Amino acid sequence: MALFNPFNSLCAVGFLARFSYALARNPVLPLFALYLGAGPEAIGLAVGISTVTGIFFKMPSGALSDIIGRRQTLLMGLVVFAVMPFTYLVISDYSWLIVIRFLHGLATAIYGPVAMAVVADIAGAKKGEWLSWFSSVTIVGTLVGAPVGGFLLTYVTAANGPGLNDFRLVFLMSGLAGAAALLLGLIALKDREETVSPHPGALKERLSRFFSGIKEVISDRRVVITSNMEGLQNLTVGALEAFLPVYAIKVAGLNEFQAGLLWGVQVLTTILSKPMMGRMSDRWGRKPIIVLGMVLCAASFAAIPLLTSFYLLMGTALVFGLGEAFVTSSTAALVADICHQKHFGTAMGTFGTIFDIGHASGPILAGLLIARFDYFISFLIMGSILIAVIPVFVLGVKLGEPAAT
């Protein structure tokens, strides 16, 4: 495989785009919102609002690529990656942060589904292999962004903590990475021939398939319950994304680099563990693995406010990442098992959006709870939700039974 073939170039584009986005997100974003005077509810909204963008725009982005072509749609997403980080440089008020975060969320909403489609278009018979490699490369970009952002805030700041110019430095780096992704994307897609055949009725057709998918999914309670298990687990992921950096620095007394490492350890553990957990679920069954994962996530999540040691918090983040791997590898497989039985082809794409609802709700719910209670009570409540839904899952999801309609 040539070093600079189209696939390798797309992987480089994906890495830079995700690195740019992660650099501006964690731990920088919640700390920047805190610097602007935001309370817990406002911090949660700032972190969650970009995922809300994805909920509404991922499906239309896929439909748009069918109408105007993959190349044009992908470049639209890369333009957002390149331009939006620079708009953070003029922010001095929290309200503008919300507007910019919502618009910045368009980057992944447009780019994500279309980039995978482009890779599938060029992969030929190697779709599975190339999509897996592409996904892994983009995840690495996300993984690297958190500690790099924390490092910049820690080691280029004044002794009394990061100021406005320090945050602007990180956003500048994010913008440069996004601009590099756009430039490389223009080169990689320069001679690409479209494999889609846009037609006037494409949008209507995609909308029809979308609503048909929702109707099919909600007709089987097993699919709904299983999907909600991942959605609720994502509730705690979103909460950690928003408030683990704030807790680590303001309560545990750690620095920004350590806060970024905590998030990086959790993500890395999930990435490395998922293949093994998937094999375990193939051998031992999906349901026990999902239940164990929910217990691990709930326990480690609730334990965080009891700890202030960097190494203990890192160990807890590791356990949470392991639990996330248990849940996400097995829920997806279980939904696929059920969908295969019911031939739910179009419904699987629909649930990619529905999973995001939990991730978007997590920071917002955590912010509301922390404003009303403290970290311990708030994290305990959210962890208890994961435990409370286990009996519903165990009793409500029975394979081999006729679908509930």
Q: Which CATH number fits domain 208-397: 3.30.530.20, 3.40.50.80, 1.20.1250.20, 3.40.190.10?
A: 1.20.1250.20
Q: What's the distance, CA 324 to chain centroid?
A: 13
Distance (Å, whole) CA 330 – CA 292: 11
**Who's near 324: CB < 8 A, 6+ residues apart?**
233, 237, 266, 269, 270, 293, 297
Q: DSSP readout, 319-330?
A: HHHHHHHHHHHH
At residue 86, the pLDDT reads 96
pLDDT band at 350 (very low <50, low <70, confident <90, very high): low
Is 246 in contact with 305 (CB distance < 8 Å)? no
Residues 288-304 have pLDDT tens digits of: 999 999 999 999 999 99
SS3 of residue 230 by DSSP: helix
Fold of 1-198: Growth Hormone; Chain: A; (1.20.1250)
pTM (2 d.p.): 0.83
SS3 of residue 374 by DSSP: coil
Cα atoms found within 13 Å of the Cα of residue 385, Cβ hemisphere only:
19
Percent of the chain with pLDDT over 90: 45
For the chain, the helix, strand and coil percentages under 3-state DSSP, each to the nearest 5: 85, 0, 15
Residues 258-276 have pLDDT tens digits of: 999 998 899 888 888 877 8
**Secondary structure element (H or E) that encloses residue 41, with its range:** helix 40-68
Q: Which two tokens mark 275?
A: 């293949």
Distance (Å, whole) CA 365 – CA 367: 5
**Secondary structure element (H or E) that encloses residue 218, with its range:** helix 202-218
Distance (Å, whole) CA 33 – CA 12: 30
Is 239 in contact with 361 (CB distance < 8 Å)? no
Which amino acid is it at 303? A
φ/ψ of residue 401, rounded to 5: -90, 160
State the chain's mean pLDDT as an integer. Answer: 83
Q: Where do the CATH 1.20.1250.20 domains begin and end in the chain?
A: 1-198, 208-397
φ/ψ of residue 375, rounded to 5: -60, -40
pLDDT band at 343 (very low <50, low <70, confident <90, very high): very low
Residues 109-140 have pLDDT tens digits of: 888 878 877 777 777 666 656 766 787 788 88
